[in-house]
A and B are shown apart, each in its own frame.
Chain A
């Protein structure tokens, strides 16, 4: 059962990733990207990590994919989509991917991780929270600072100088 679900999820994830890269229509491309991200959430569910899976769905599908969709719909296509047809680039990309997969596979096989324990209980999300606030708290603080800096930067970039304050609607 799990094998069949794993195979179906793999086909869905990789297939829609290829579609997201190759299809002409940008909207369908972003829909395929959503399917890819949902497939990854399915992998997390198979790995007994429903907490991560739900965050994958609500953050990646619910927010980031919406952002991409929004951008694609609002920005004119010529501005972001410069058509470069080059066969050599595609072959170079496939070669790069094969090299990467080969390297990663050799690392995994060389690490001696040949079997996995399947009966372990699912990860408790309370333990994740406790770890974040104790052992990994410096990393959490650095992440929070980076996010805050990026929000401030985005606000600075989005602020338009040509609108005076009495023209604002609020």
Chain B
């Protein structure tokens, strides 16, 4: 008898093998085959060498890289890829995750601490992964007297609204998920949903701390939405369009922060307030009202809210870049792609496999993405900075700032923009194009 498996019996072992085979077949026929059919039905597959590339030829794709590249290329230009991976959710979530780690280290350095240190050996680089695993494995506790439907759907709606916001931000020329003609108005419509979600989830948790936090969030977001919209009007007046991609294209020679600096400052302060960051973090003031409107959330529900918050941070920073810092415009620093690469492809290794059809992305797109990411990361760092420097302000000071000072300041730059427009200096048909 072996000491490792004292209860071992060959018959049970064989039975377990059959069991595994049965489940594999069952899952394949119930899940795998329908997925193949869904792909065949909905996705437009490319034709290579006069042969339609169906999922049934999956082994051929793997064996022949020259056939795999066109499939990847056609996949990259589908809406699905745009939403899930590149300009949409995956890209934003990656930047948000990096933001969370950088925020902790950055604030620690400001305040002469060390920050996350042990997880992942090198400067705590795996801390975020550990936190995520912890959040997923924690139990979700719903308060007994909570209003369950609203409480459950709140975090999902928050992440969904943040994702809708992210989808409107153009990253590189032509690389944007949703590009309506009035995308700036769509941004206003989207950020109008955040106070509703905050106050509804705060009410649904049936806790006085969450309710006070939710009401504070509502007050704050409504108060700062008006100067936010007004501060962007000067850019709209100067460009004459509401489409974010066209606003970026209008900044090829100079950025709008040159002509609308007061708007940029007002917009930046409004970003801080809309994101509930210090010095405007009254809705989550942890030393007064536990955690504000997030008090009753536990486990992955809290994780979803945090994910939504950081997606929103990325989207606001991207919006600042797009409107005032020229978006993807910038010096062409990406090395040009050699024509041999485009015509002949690259040669890999000792067996000389030629992969034609590379590269997957064009040079302007790669350079634009690089410029956008550099500027956006700069804005994100500026948003993170006040957290290490400033204290929290009182609610009456906050409302006073929002309703009196910022609205007045926003109007100043609107009149400057109108003056420049009517003097014929800027804008459509102006002296400086």
Contact = CB atoms under 8 A, between A and B. Distances in A.
B188 A66 contact: no
Contact of B182 (A31, A70, A125, A170): A125
A69 B185 contact: no
A27 B196 CA distance: 12
A70 B218 contact: yes
Given A51-B182, A170-B400, A73 B193 contact: no
B192 A62 contact: yes
A63 interface: yes
30 contacts: A27-B203, A31-B150, A31-B200, A50-B180, A50-B182, A50-B185, A51-B182, A51-B185, A54-B185, A54-B189, A55-B185, A55-B189, A57-B189, A58-B185, A62-B188, A62-B192, A62-B193, A62-B196, A65-B196, A66-B192, A66-B196, A66-B218, A69-B199, A70-B199, A70-B218, A122-B181, A125-B181, A125-B242, A170-B396, A170-B400
Contacts of B222: 63, 66
Contacts, number: 63
B396 A61 contact: no
Bin the interface of chain A by size: 20 to 34
A73 B182 contact: no
A7 B21 CA distance: 46
A34 interface: yes
A69 B242 CA distance: 30
Interface of A: 27, 31, 34, 50-51, 54-55, 57-58, 61-63, 65-66, 69-70, 73, 122, 125-126, 169-170
A63 B192 contact: yes
A170 B402 CA distance: 13
Contacts of B199: 66, 69-70, 73
Given A66-B222, A69-B200, A170-B396, A50 B181 contact: yes
Interface in B143-196: 147, 150, 180-182, 185-186, 188-189, 192-193, 195-196
B209 to A, nearest CB: 15
Interface residues of B, number: 24
Nearest to B221: A66
Given A31-B200, A50-B185, A66-B222, 9 more contacts: A51-B182, A55-B185, A58-B185, A62-B188, A62-B193, A62-B195, A62-B196, A73-B199, A73-B215
B189 A62 contact: yes
B202 to A, nearest CB: 9
Contacts of B242: 125
Interface string B237-248: 000101000000
Contact of B189 (A31, A58, A125, A169): A58
Contacts of B186: 50, 54
A60 to B, nearest CB: 10
B192 A61 contact: yes
Contact of B196 (A50, A54, A69, A169): A69
Interface string B105-141: 0000000000000000000000000000000000000
A34 B196 contact: yes
A27 B204 CA distance: 10
A40 B322 CA distance: 30
A42 B208 CA distance: 36
Nearest to A73: B203
